[in-house]
């Protein structure tokens, strides 16, 4: 019986060789990382707002922090003003 191949098997193989992860664990890590980087700017802003709000930060601090984090994403979105960030969250 042959294994089903995926587009990211080379990365999974590399993780298995270079870490203590088993094949199934390495495949889950790859899928988690891909999902993280597949997140749209709007999804990222909303998620980070929820996370930081749960930590007790004020909206002012949250939007400033999110604005600082956005340029460091794998594919950085255009610079968004604090007002644009608020509109993403609150519409």
The string of pLDDT tens digits covering residues 23-59 is 999 999 999 998 888 888 999 999 999 999 999 999 9
Q: What is the pLDDT of residue 59?
A: 96
- Measure the CA–CA gap between 8 and 28, rounded to whole angstroms: 11
What are the structure tokens assigned to 8, written together? 């990211």
* Cα separation values, 18 from 3, 23, 26, 34, 78, Å: 21, 12, 10, 19, 35
The string of pLDDT tens digits covering residues 58-71 is 999 999 999 999 98
Contact of 16 with 26, CB cutoff 8 Å: yes
């Amino acid at each position: 019986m042959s294994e089903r191949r995926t587009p990211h098997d080379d990365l999974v193989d590399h993780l298995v060789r270079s870490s203590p992860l088993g094949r199934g664990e390495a495949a889950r890590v790859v899928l988690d990382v891909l999902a993280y980087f597949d997140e749209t700017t709007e999804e990222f802003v909303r998620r980070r707002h929820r996370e930081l709000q749960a930590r007790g930060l004020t909206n002012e601090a949250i939007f400033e922090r999110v604005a600082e984090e956005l340029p460091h994403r794998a594919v950085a979105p255009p610079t968004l003003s604090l007002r644009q960030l608020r509109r993403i969250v609150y519409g």
